[in-house]
Amino acid sequence: MFTLKLAWRYAFSRSNRHRSATIVIMLGIAVGMLAIIIMLSLMNRLQSDLLDQVKSIESFHVQVTFPANESDARTVDDIVAALRGTPGVAQVYPQVNTQVLIQNPATNRSTTARLRIIDSSIWKTENPFSDRTHMVRGSYPTPLHIATGTALATKLSLALGDSINMTVLGAGKTVVLAPTTIAVTASGVFRTGLPEFDSSTLVTDLDPLVSTIGAKRIMYGLYLEDGYVDNSKQVLRSITETFPSATIRTWQQVNSAFYSALTLEKVLMYLFLFFMFIILAVNMKNASSRLLHVKQRELAILRAVGAQKTTATKVFLGQTIIITVLGETLGIIGGVYLGKYIGNVFSWLNSLQYLFTRRDNLLLAYPFTTEVKAMEVALIAISVLVLSLGFTYLGCRRLFRKEPMEMLYHD
């Protein structure tokens, strides 16, 4: 208790000229923590929203495919049933994704697109895709009807009911891929919030196109139950046991490059922001070193009246812990609170910059939200504390080598 009291006094006593240095360092740590929490929580939310969209709309949680040359008596329905029966699997949707050429004769517009041929039950049941997809106009596709993304519909100047020519590459008689042109009807326009998906994808029902394209190209998209999405080892094992020849890819593997890029960006952000703490730690080292110089007489007196040698060590390290913990606490509270209202803050900043530029800033006008990960914050807090203690040690290391009384001799 005495040590703690002394550490507090050294840090904050009004009669102590060290006080302002303490407050500056503490505020610096608070600002640093606030900044790092805000930036990382923004990144967390942006990345998790993006990944959520990608795995819900684009890649599914798990993709299962079978070798093209494998002859298997099981039908698509058998395979779906077996997969659905695997523990951890919530839904299974057989599908084919392929490139197509589309012409809209009504408007003379044409383009390439990606066609997703998928069981139309995906629109009707509750699943991550239907949760995020909003049918802007019309209805979900039935056989020989298609739904397009909003941007794609605009590109083609597509109206509901328009008949469009779609050329798709399917199994040929003598070649693996041969083009087939089919007339389909636009039945709906959807929006998913994933711009690349909306600008390039048509969706239609499995029947009858899957037979044109070839059942061998079917990929089974699986949605997993909560808890298994990011930790699917068990599910994968079960599927492998059931289908030893199947190729199974998780959403991380399907999007490995993208995922890796996001991880890289986050690591770089960590490094950059951690730099702030290096600066603060140097500050702390200097302050500790100066405090030691000022307090050496006092420490010698303490030794003379019976304090242990480690008392001085504990006082200095205790001081660092107090300053760092207080600073971090302030920073975390500020960061979490500000994170909750970050949208309002950015909106205010946008209004401010509008006064000068007369234009909205896209970054500031974006409706940001944050996701604070407790483990991440805890890890940062511990790292900062360890860094602070390390630098304090550097600032006072002669204290830990020498007897405080010895330091008086040069006086």
Q: Which residues bind another protein (CB under 8 A)?
A: 17, 20-21, 24-25, 27-28, 31-32, 35, 39, 68, 98-103, 105, 108, 110-114, 165, 167, 169, 175-179, 181, 195, 256-264, 269, 272-273, 275-276, 279-280, 282-283, 286-287, 290, 361-363
Q: How far is the CB of 13 from another protein (least distance, A)?
A: 15
Give the residue among 60, 33, 36 at the shortest CA–CA distance from 232. 60
Residue 71 or 108 with smaller CB distance to another protein: 108
Q: How far is the CB of 314 from another protein (least distance, A)?
A: 25
Using the structure block, give the residue that is written with the tokens 């083009």. 179
Phi/psi at 225 (5° precision): -70, 155
Asked if 264 contacts 257 with a C-beta cutoff of 8 angstroms, the reply is no
Quote the CA–CA distance of 352 and 380 in Å, as a whole number: 32
Secondary structure (3-state) at 162: coil
Strand partners, 148: 189, 202
Q: Which two tokens stand for residue 298?
A: 């006092």
Residue 43 or 82 with smaller CB distance to another protein: 43
Residue 280 or 322 with smaller CB distance to another protein: 280
Give the residue among 63, 39, 59 at the shortest CA–CA distance from 51. 59
Residue 325 or 364 with smaller CB distance to another protein: 364
Secondary structure (3-state) at 400: helix
Half-sphere exposure (CA, 13 Å, Cβ side) for 341? 8
Q: What is the 3-state secondary structure (H, E, C) of 121-151?
A: HHHHCCCHHHHHCEEEEECCCCCCEEEEEHH
Q: How far is the CB of 287 from another protein (least distance, A)?
A: 8
Phi/psi at 71 (5° precision): -100, 125
Q: How far is the CB of 169 from another protein (least distance, A)?
A: 6
Residue 240 or 351 with smaller CB distance to another protein: 351
Q: How far is the CB of 170 from another protein (least distance, A)?
A: 11
Residue 135 or 336 with smaller CB distance to another protein: 336
Q: How far is the CB of 361 from another protein (least distance, A)?
A: 8
